[in-house]
Amino acid sequence: MTYGKKMGFLINCAQNGISRRTAFKIFALLSTPGIFNRLNAEETTISSIMQQEFLSQKNLCVNIIPIDAEPFTGIFLGFEGEELKFRKPDSAPSLSEMPENKISIRKLRSIDFQVKDPAIENTPNDSHSENLVESPKKKEPSHPRIMIGESVFRAQSIFQKEGKYVIELSSGGTMEPLLPGKIQEILFQDEKLGQNHDLDADWNEIQKMEMSNDLLVILRNEKLSYYYGTILEITPKSVRFEQDGESLNVKLKHIFALRFASQEKSADQNSPKPLLGILTDTAGSQIYAAQIEPDSDRESLSVLTTGGERVNIMPSSLKNLDFTEGRMIFLSSLKPESIDWTPFFQTGLATQNTSCSNLTREFYAPKFNRGFTNSQIHLGGKKFSNGLELCSRTIIQFRLPAQFKKFQTTLGIDDSVRPGGNAEVKILADEKVLFDEIVSGKDIPKVLSLDIANARRLTIRVDFGKDGSLSDYVAFADAQLLK
């Protein structure tokens, strides 16, 4: 390739939004002997190779999961207000011709960053890979869990430098240095929790304590002890702690946790930024994100938390961005205030308190996040992992959390018994009837969006239809409350 062609290629990369690092990857590919023979034989263009290389970068290719539609793959471009910007690479011949799309995050459930590349995933290690025995994985050391505002970070290390805390995330990300007072708690040995009832109880009591000073929590012989004082310094190996005027150096391996006394809140803490979504990385960090944007060369993402902290993180280390927190909850996540089931035939077998009647009631009890006959709800040819199914006659009532305005669901008879099933469905917000219709297995499912603003209780009543209780498996797929 001549010098002029090389320069033209690099300019083409820049115009197509390809970073310099990726451009050199493609350049190396094009320098492979015989590559142009393959290009000519397969009628492949340089632009198509650039597109394939661009799409193969897992830091930009994501699965976008809407609330009420099928998931799809797109190129993550960032956010504009409450809208996700992305490109769909379905048939565009070059990156510059991919149209930019937008979708409201209120229509999205989540974004998955861990997009698998089948060409890589299905490639064996060698010709004998099917005979290889996977060696046991070494248990990785626990990484400190740091609470900052609403966010929880898994850290590779934390230490102080020039009066600020420097945190390196376990997933490879970095944070801007933090001023004292931003951190609420550092838990060094959380892998011990859930294994010892007494230790769990001690830790719960410590977390409830009001503190005017910092707290040093030590683990000895599976028991916790704590000391009030002032945390002076954190190094990679120890903590310098002052108690009663005496300065002590305590090795990190002996420390279970550090808790920081409440300090005067900053402007960011007093006025947190609106939540965009909860970002989870591969190390287990849960970041309450207010803004997420690719950096200038698209090699990493810049994240601003609701508390004002700035984090730079590689997209390849991210798992999921959940938009539902605070905006939507599934009805199945609420505990019913009351449930009443009445059989069609009022026989002693069904109504008396016997083992047989108990089994009958258990069978016809409401099914949460599953169907009566399947592990998932089947409705309209789709499978749903969230929702509930009720059999006639069932009356179920939920106490509604404040500030939710809509009840949305897809309503119909479960596919497993269609075209059978005929039931009367009534939905009430307090005493107001929102929906009252016959639901039949011969009808297509209905999408409901009902106003529950200012209501305190939601009542769903599934009553007998013209066929008694036969096949009355009424599904409320993706039943959810929205703000």
Q: Is residue 445 part of a domain?
A: yes
What is the pLDDT at residue 272?
81
Q: How far is CA 403 from CA 91, 215, 406, in A?
A: 43, 37, 10
Domain count, the chain: 2
Neighbours of 207 (CB within 10 A): 13
Q: Which amino acid is at 437?
A: E
What is the pLDDT at residue 26?
56
What is the pLDDT at residue 8?
64
Round to whole Å and give the CA distance between 465 and 423.
4
Mean pLDDT value across residues 405-419: 94
Q: Residue 267, SS3?
A: helix
**Which residues make Cβ contacts (< 8 Å) with residue 366, sequence separation at least 6?**
336, 339, 388, 389, 390, 394, 396
Q: Is residue 83 part of a domain?
A: no
Quickly list H helices, 256-365.
267-270, 348-351, 355-364
Across the chain, what does the average pLDDT equal?
80
What is the pLDDT at residue 435?
97
What is the pLDDT at residue 119?
37
Q: Is residue 192 part of a domain?
A: no
* First-to-last C-alpha distance (Å) of the chain: 58
**CATH number of 388's domain:** 2.60.120.1060
* Across 21-35, 68-82, 469-483, least confident range: 21-35
Task: Inform me whether the pLDDT recorded for 188 exceeds 80.
Answer: yes
Q: Is residue 389 part of a domain?
A: yes
The residue out of 56, 78, 97 marking a domain boundary is 56
Task: Inform me whether the pLDDT recorded for 456 exceeds 90.
Answer: yes
Encoded tokens for 227: 């000391």
What is the pLDDT at residue 226?
95
Mean pLDDT value across residues 36-43: 45
Task: Inform me whether the pLDDT recorded for 278 exceeds 60.
Answer: yes
Element (H or E) spanning 451, and its range? strand 446-451
Round to whole Å and give the CA distance between 369 and 330.
10
Q: Is residue 242 part of a domain?
A: no
Task: Inform me whether the pLDDT recorded for 15 exceeds 90.
Answer: no
What is the pLDDT at residue 326?
74
Q: Residue 231, SS3?
A: strand
The residue out of 13, 40, 56 marking a domain boundary is 56
Task: Inform me whether the pLDDT recorded for 468 exceeds 80.
Answer: no
Q: Residue 205, SS3?
A: helix
Q: Is residue 260 part of a domain?
A: no
Task: Inform me whether the pLDDT recorded for 247 exceeds 90.
Answer: yes
The closest of 314, 296, 295, 293 to 304, measured between CA atoms, is 293
Round to whole Å and give the CA distance between 175 and 396.
47
Encoded tokens for 319: 């798992």
The closest of 114, 149, 82 to 327, measured between CA atoms, is 82
Q: Is residue 175 part of a domain?
A: no
What is the pLDDT at residue 210?
87
Task: Inform me whether the pLDDT recorded for 266 exceeds 60.
Answer: no
Residue that the structure tokens 């011949």 belong to: 93
Encoded tokens for 173: 């990300």
**pLDDT-derived band at 469, boundaries 50, 70, 90:** low
Residue 155, sorted as left (phi over 0), alpha (psi -120 to 50) or beta, turns out to be beta
Q: Is residue 19 part of a domain?
A: yes
Domain limits at 37? 3-56
The predicted model scores a pTM of 0.63
Q: What is the pLDDT of residues 215-245, one digit of tens each?
A: 999 999 889 999 999 999 999 899 999 999 9
